[in-house]
């Protein structure tokens, strides 16, 4: 009985999308100039020729053009600048950092807020150090877009802070923000940061999308709506990916705890237990 | 503007498929509620009036709740899977790239379903 069967299945939608995309009847996104220019529609092509999509980073670098104010356009231009920077364009480099400096300072300030008082590092120091490290690693990174760049910047800053703490050797036990009290008892920031770092590395290998969403959410403090807008996904899809990512982290922590217990290493086991609690509490309290 | 002049976006296709599935889902929920309400009322009435045949009919009508609900679950599962298509599509830069990505995905889905079918037939054989 057809009534009891779903009208659209994943297979039928995949086939419909595939044939539509190949025939040009379906486009990827209405905001992507590249996609619109590919389409056969004159109406859509005219929108692609609007000033926002005609933005030329070279003329901007010479001071003869202005940055478009529309959010989507700015994101696309950052992508272009990132690609140019990767190829060694110095003008693109300065324009890129000029454009994103407010975001970089915001991320640096946010990262430093978690540190103890009298840390010694200022947001501008962190941004400069991060810039130097990114400059070295730039050629090896395939930049996708602005969100990807900011996610990498956030992780670099975390690593800088970890390295800084290691060098200082006088790291105090300070509580992390937004964590439940029972998860904070006798916590060492460095231990937590290192363990989370390892887990995130693993997550990046297993599922880059989950990793991006986790980084944007935890480190950049973006809301689900903001992530959905920057990754061009629906809010529901972002919520699902976020849920999936946390579930995976939860499972990995569980496995890590089991393996540590098997090795009977009480110190490491204790740390993992604390972080495990953090995710258990967050996971259980979350509304889905 | 006709449909030929303005091609739809992948997001719109996905939204439309989910919305259409949702309509069927609501209808099935309605059926499930109706089956339960009619079946249980008939059952209660038949028991109070000691009508054995009508009691059995009421019971059977109530039991139709189960296929309706399992269909709702299946539809919801498909809708979730359709929504998740946005994730790979958002990573593609061109329509061609997206189409190739979908082709791979389709092959994987088809392969998984085939594997499920094989596993199911093996289980059925073993049960026999």
Whether the predicted pLDDT of A34 surpasses 60: no
Burial of A148 (0-12, 13-18, 19+ CB in 10 A): buried
Please state, as a whole number, how many other Cβ atoms lie within 10 Å of the Cβ of residue A161: 22
Query: Average pLDDT, stretch A177-193?
Result: 47
What's the average model confidence in pLDDT over B101-119? 69
Rounded-to-integer distance, Cα A32 and Cα A212, Å = 21
Q: Kindly tell me the burial class for residue A177, based on how many C-beta atoms sit within 10 Å of its own C-beta (0-12, 13-18, 19 or more).
A: exposed
Mean model confidence pLDDT for chain B: 81
Residue A262 confidence (pLDDT) above 90: no
What mean pLDDT is predicted for residues B11-35? Answer: 90
Contacts with A22 from chain B: Cβ below 8 Å: 95-96, 99
Q: Do B92 and A18 touch (CB under 8 A)?
A: no
Task: Pick A78 or A71 by higher pLDDT.
Answer: A78
* pLDDT for the residue A142: 73
Q: A41 pLDDT exceeds 60?
A: no
- pLDDT category at A233 given cuts 50, 70, 90 is confident
**What confidence tens digit (pLDDT) does each residue in A145-183 have?**
777 788 788 778 877 877 776 666 444 443 344 444 444
- Looking at residue A21, its pLDDT comes to 81
Average pLDDT over residues A49-77: 41
Q: Residue A28 is nearest to which of B9, B20, B23, comparing CB atoms?
A: B9
| Nearest chain A alpha carbon to B107 | A11
The pLDDT value given to residue A95: 83
This complex has an ipTM of 0.76
Q: Show which of residues 52-111 on chain A sit within 8 Å of chain B, judged by CB atoms.
A: none
Q: Is the pLDDT of residue A53 over 50?
A: no
The answer to whether residue A63 scores a pLDDT higher than 60 is no
Chain B contacts of A14, Cβ < 8 Å?
85, 102, 105-106, 109
Residues A47 and A36: beta-carbon distance below 8 Å? yes
For residue A36, what pLDDT is reported? 38
Range picked from A67-76, A177-186, A244-253, A277-286 for highest mean pLDDT: A244-253
In the numeric block, the tokens 């696309």 are attached to A76
**Confidence bin at B56 (pLDDT 50/70/90):** very high
Top residue of B1, B65, B87, B93 to mutate, by most chain A CBs within 10 Å, is B87
Measured between beta carbons, the chain A residues lying within 8 angstroms of B94 are 28, 34-35, 38
pLDDT band at B88 (very low <50, low <70, confident <90, very high): confident
B119 vs A246: CA distance, rounded Å:
31
Provide the token pair at A129: 């150090």
What is the predicted pLDDT for the residue at B62?
A: 92
Sign of the dihedral through C-alpha A104, A105, A111, A112:
positive
Q: How far apart are CA B105 and CA A46, in angstroms?
A: 33
pTM recorded for the entire structure: 0.39
Q: In whole numbers, what is the pLDDT of chain A averaged over residues? A: 65
A133/chain B closest Cα distance in angstroms: 26
**What pLDDT does A186 receive?**
44
Residue numbers in A near B93 (CB within 8 A): 34
What pLDDT, on a 0 to 100 scale, did the predictor assign at position A275? 53
Residue count of chain A: 288
How far A169 CA lies from chain B's nearest CA (Å)? 42
- Option in B20, B90, B95 nearest A21 (CB): B95
Look at residue A105 and tell me whether its pLDDT is greater than 60. Answer: yes
Instruction: Nearest by CB to B78, from A8, A30, A233: name it.
Output: A8
Do A25 and B8 lie within an 8 Å CB cutoff? Answer: yes
Q: A241 and B5 in contact by Cβ < 8 A?
A: no
**A22 and chain B in contact, CB less than 8 A:** yes
- Please determine, for residue B2, whether its predicted confidence score (pLDDT) is greater than 60: no
Q: Is the pLDDT of residue A206 over 50?
A: yes
Q: Select the residue from B77, B78, B107 to test the A interface by mutation, using most A Cβ atoms within 10 A.
A: B78
Shortest distance, CA A225 to any CA of chain B (angstroms): 15
Q: Which of residues 143-172 of A touch B (CB under 8 A)?
A: 144
Q: A238 pLDDT exceeds 60?
A: yes
**Which is higher by pLDDT, B76 or A177?**
B76
Average pLDDT over residues B34-49: 93
Contact A28 B95 (CB under 8 A): yes
Indicate if the alpha-carbon torsion angle A250, A252, A254, A256 is positive or negative. Answer: negative
**Secondary structure, 3-state, chain A:** CHHHCCCCCHHHHHHHHHHHHHHCCEECCCCCHHHHHHCCCHHHHHHHCCCCCCCCHHHHHCCCCCCCCCHHHHHHHHHHHHHHHHCCCHHHHHHHHHHHHHHHHHHHHHHHHCCCCCCCCCHHHHHHHHHHHHHHHHHHCCCCCHHHHHHHHHHHHHHHHHHHHHHHCCCCCCCCCCCCHHHHCCCCHHHHHHHHHHHHHHHHHHCHHHHHHHHHHHHCCCCHHHHHHHHCCCHHHHHHHHHHHHHHHHHHHHHHHHHHHHHCCHHHHHHHHHHHHHHHHHHHHCCC
pLDDT value for B63:
92
């Amino acid at each position: 009985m057809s009534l009891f069967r779903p009208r659209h299945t994943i297979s039928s939608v995949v086939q419909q999308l595939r044939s539509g995309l190949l025939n040009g009847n379906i486009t990827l996104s209405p905001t992507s100039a590249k996609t619109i220019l590919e389409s056969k529609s004159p109406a859509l092509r005219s929108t692609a020729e609007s000033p926002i999509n005609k933005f030329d980073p070279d003329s901007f670098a010479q001071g003869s053009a202005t940055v478009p104010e529309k959010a989507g356009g700015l994101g696309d231009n950052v992508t272009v600048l990132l690609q140019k920077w990767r190829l060694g364009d110095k003008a693109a480099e300065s324009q890129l950092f000029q454009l994103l400096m407010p975001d970089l300072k915001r991320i640096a300030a946010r990262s430093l807020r978690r540190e103890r008082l009298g840390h010694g590092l200022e947001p501008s120091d962190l941004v400069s150090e991060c810039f130097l490290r990114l400059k070295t690693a730039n050629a090896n990174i395939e930049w996708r877009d602005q969100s990807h760049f900011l996610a990498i910047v956030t992780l670099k800053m975390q690593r800088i802070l970890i390295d800084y703490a290691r060098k200082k050797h006088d790291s105090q036990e300070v509580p992390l923000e937004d964590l439940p009290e029972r998860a904070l008892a006798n916590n060492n920031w460095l231990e937590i940061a290192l363990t989370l770092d390892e887990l995130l590395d693993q997550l990046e290998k297993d599922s880059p999308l989950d990793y991006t969403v986790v980084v944007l959410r935890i480190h950049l403090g973006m809301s689900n709506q903001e992530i959905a807008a920057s990754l061009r996904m629906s809010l529901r899809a972002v919520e699902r990916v976020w849920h999936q990512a946390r579930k995976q982290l939860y499972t990995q922590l569980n496995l890590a705890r089991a393996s540590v217990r098997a090795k009977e290493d009480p110190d490491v086991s204790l740390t993992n237990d604390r972080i495990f609690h953090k995710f258990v509490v967050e996971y259980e309290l979350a509304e889905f | 503007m006709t449909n030929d002049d303005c091609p739809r976006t992948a997001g719109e296709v996905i939204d439309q498929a989910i919305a259409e599935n949702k309509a069927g889902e609501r209808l099935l929920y309605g059926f499930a509620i109706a089956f339960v309400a009619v079946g249980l009322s008939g059952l209660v009435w038949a028991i109070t009036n000691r009508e054995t045949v009508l009691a059995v009919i009421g019971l059977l009508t109530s039991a139709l709740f189960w296929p309706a609900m399992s269909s709702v679950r299946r539809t919801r599962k498909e809708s979730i899977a359709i929504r998740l298509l946005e994730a790979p599509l958002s990573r593609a830069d061109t329509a061609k790239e997206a189409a190739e990505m979908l082709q791979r995905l389709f092959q994987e889905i088809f392969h998984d379903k085939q594997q499920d079918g094989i596993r199911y037939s093996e289980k059925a054989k073993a049960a026999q």
